[in-house]
Amino acid sequence: MGAMLLGLALFSVFQTPFAAQVEAVDRIVAVVDDDVVVKSELEREFATIVSQLRQQTTKLPPRNVLERQVLERLILKKLQLAAAERAGITIGEDLLAQTVGNIARNNDLTLREFRQVLEQGGISFASYREGVRNEMIIRRLREQEIRRRIRITDQEVAAFIARLGSTLSERSAYRLFHILISTPEGASAEQLGSARNKAAGLVQQLRSGNDFRTLALTESDGRQALEGGDLGWRPANQLPTLFVDRVQTMEKGEISDPIRTPSGYHIIKLEDYKGGDRHIIEQSHVRHILINTNEITSDQNARIRLEQLKQRIDGGDDFAALARSHSDDKSSAIKGGDLGWTSPGDLLPRFEEEINKLPPKQVSEPFRTEFGWHLAEVLDRRQHDSTREVQKAEARKAIQKRKMSEETELYLRRLRDEAYVDIRLEDL
């Protein structure tokens, strides 16, 4: 969320003087179910997008084309906020204040300084906060309405790793540009043919040298159209499903043939890619003795017991034998306190902090975690290539993110198709 909101902050704060020229003419430009989009609202959003595109030195399309794209974005925002209201989704003042404070800190500003920057740019702090609140509401709506539909099986994870495993070491991340020519649900053969022909025509234009950003702005139905179709850098394991096989063999600057999905026809351009890195981590082989604290055993008593055990270990008694007879961590006690080889993040932060200070074969002083008091010993350390393990650990997350993106496209399309929308731009 932080990156999204930070982007909102930067694009809103650093607008060009174009924004100051906007006239607040509250004429209706679209009816969206029980809500409306007014001219002044459209102009404000239009000014923000124009500023963003100019910062990217992107050639602007004709005003009427860009205005339509901006209006579609506003319509989708209205529909999502209405759906969130029906679902009872709200953002409390405390969470909103914390989020706005984080945005200020991410810009190296105090909240007071951030407020001044906003107001100097012609943006009221109150309206900015509401914009942030709306973005948070929409994100929570998507989490609630879309994420719960996503199911990931172990077989999918295994297939995912098998498909990408041989290529991840060669190409680990891609920068892609994207155009979508959408088709409605249950599209007729005529509608599919029309979309396919349009996509094929765009591919021909792009391969003839036409600017991808400009065509994305004017022709794409994708969510990144107003960014010139720029998807940014994405790890290989987070690419949309049907893009994966294509980009593995594409060269830099290459334009794909149209790719058919339930959303429509996609065109992608491989702008760049990066090679893969190995994941080398330091693992520690650890064992411990835990004394729980409770109504019977106080902190002081637990610490004293461990100090006595440490004296016995230093005097030559066997750590494993004492762990079996004294440790309250029953799952490791039967193994002499052995926790096996552990990677960063496997253990509690406080526990890791202590063992990271220990050289091998040395027993720690007693220390406390939320589970009680511990003695710990690092038996050995090793450098471990966890590349495949990391891929497996991240595969489920990557599949979820990819499915989330695909389901979001379908969800937004259903919202739009089921809504009453009357666009009145031509009346102005």
7 and 137 together in one domain: yes
Would you state the pLDDT for residue 159? 85
pLDDT tens per residue across span 198-237: 999 999 999 988 999 999 999 999 988 999 999 999 887 7
209 and 252 together in one domain: yes
76 and 91 together in one domain: yes
Would you state the pLDDT for residue 12? 43
Asked whether the beta carbons of 280 and 385 are under 8 A apart, the reply is: yes
* Mean pLDDT, residues 58-79 taken together: 90
Q: Which residues pair with 385 in a beta bridge?
A: 280
65 located within any domain = yes
286 located within any domain = yes
* Mean pLDDT, residues 77-97 taken together: 93
97 and 198 together in one domain: no
Number of structural domains found in the chain: 3
Considering the chain, what percentage of its residues have pLDDT values greater than 70?
Answer: 90
| Position 155, amino acid | Q
195 and 334 together in one domain: no
Q: Is pLDDT at 253 greater than 70 in this prediction?
A: yes
Residue 270 has phi, psi (to 5 degrees) of -85, 105
93 and 205 together in one domain: no
Q: Is pLDDT at 11 greater than 50 in this prediction?
A: no
Q: Is pLDDT at 392 greater than 60 in this prediction?
A: yes
319 located within any domain = yes
Grade residue 244 by pLDDT with cuts at 50, 70 and 90.
confident
Length of the chain: 428
* Mean pLDDT, residues 190-202 taken together: 95
- How many angstroms separate the CA atoms of 378 and 381, rounded? 8
pLDDT tens per residue across span 127-174: 899 999 999 999 999 988 888 888 888 888 888 877 765 554 457 789
Distances (CA, A) of 272 to 87, 177, 178: 41, 10, 13
Give the tokens for residue 58: 């992107």
Given 145, 180, 215, the domain boundary residue is 145
Q: Is pLDDT at 250 greater than 70 in this prediction?
A: yes
Q: Which of 129-133, 144-148, 282-286, 406-410 has the lowest mean pLDDT?
A: 144-148
Would you state the pLDDT for residue 165? 57
- What CATH number corresponds to the domain at position 179? 3.10.50.40
Q: Is pLDDT at 108 greater than 50 in this prediction?
A: yes
Q: Which of 237-246, 379-388, 402-411 has the lowest mean pLDDT?
A: 237-246
Give the tokens for residue 250: 């594409």
The pTM of the whole model exceeds 0.85: no
427 located within any domain = no
Asked whether the beta carbons of 105 and 5 are under 8 A apart, the reply is: no
Given 112, 145, 178, the domain boundary residue is 145
365 located within any domain = yes
Considering the chain, what percentage of its residues have pLDDT values greater than 90?
Answer: 54
Task: Report how far Cα 43 is from the mean position of its chain's Cα atoms.
Answer: 29
Q: Which residues pair with 52 in a beta bridge?
A: none
* Mean pLDDT, residues 409-427 taken together: 88
Grade residue 365 by pLDDT with cuts at 50, 70 and 90.
very high
Query: Strand 338-342 vs strand 367-369: parallel, antiparallel, or unpaired?
Result: unpaired
- Nearest C-alpha neighbor of 379 from the set 361, 364, 366: 361
Grade residue 358 by pLDDT with cuts at 50, 70 and 90.
very high
Q: Is pLDDT at 39 greater than 70 in this prediction?
A: yes
> HEC string of the chain?
CHHHHHHHHHHHHCCCHHHHHCCCCCCEEEEECCEEEEHHHHHHHHHHHHHHHHHCCCCCCCHHHHHHHHHHHHHHHHHHHHHHHHCCCCCCHHHHHHHHHHHHHHCCCCHHHHHHHHHHCCCCHHHHHHHHHHHHHHHHHHHHHCHHHCCCCHHHHHHHHHHHHHHHCCCCEEEEEEEEEECCCCCCHHHHHHHHHHHHHHHHHHHCCCCHHHHHHHHCCCCCHHHCCEEEEEEHHHCCHHHHHHHCCCCCCCECCCEEECCEEEEEEEEEEECCCCCEEEEEEEEEEEECCCCCCCHHHHHHHHHHHHHHHHCCCCHHHHHHHHCCCHHHHCCCCEEEEECCCCCCHHHHHHHHCCCCCCECCCEEECCEEEEEEEEEEEEEECHHHHHHHHHHHHHHHHHHHHHHHHHHHHHHHHCCEEECHHHC
- Nearest C-alpha neighbor of 46 from the set 5, 74, 27: 74
Asked whether the beta carbons of 283 and 341 are under 8 A apart, the reply is: yes
Residue 291 has phi, psi (to 5 degrees) of -115, 115
Asked whether the beta carbons of 384 and 281 are under 8 A apart, the reply is: yes
412 located within any domain = yes
What is the average pLDDT score of the chain? 86
212 and 295 together in one domain: no
271 and 284 together in one domain: no
Handedness of CA 101, 106, 111, 117 (dihedral sign): negative
Would you state the pLDDT for residue 262? 86
Grade residue 417 by pLDDT with cuts at 50, 70 and 90.
very high
Maximum C-alpha span of the chain:
92
378 and 332 together in one domain: yes
- What CATH number corresponds to the domain at position 17? 1.10.4030.10
Which domain, by its residues, includes 174?
166-277+389-420
Grade residue 30 by pLDDT with cuts at 50, 70 and 90.
very high
158 located within any domain = no
Grade residue 3 by pLDDT with cuts at 50, 70 and 90.
very low
138 located within any domain = yes
100 and 28 together in one domain: yes
- How many angstroms separate the CA atoms of 192 and 123, rounded? 44
362 and 304 together in one domain: yes
367 and 393 together in one domain: no
Q: Is pLDDT at 15 greater than 70 in this prediction?
A: no
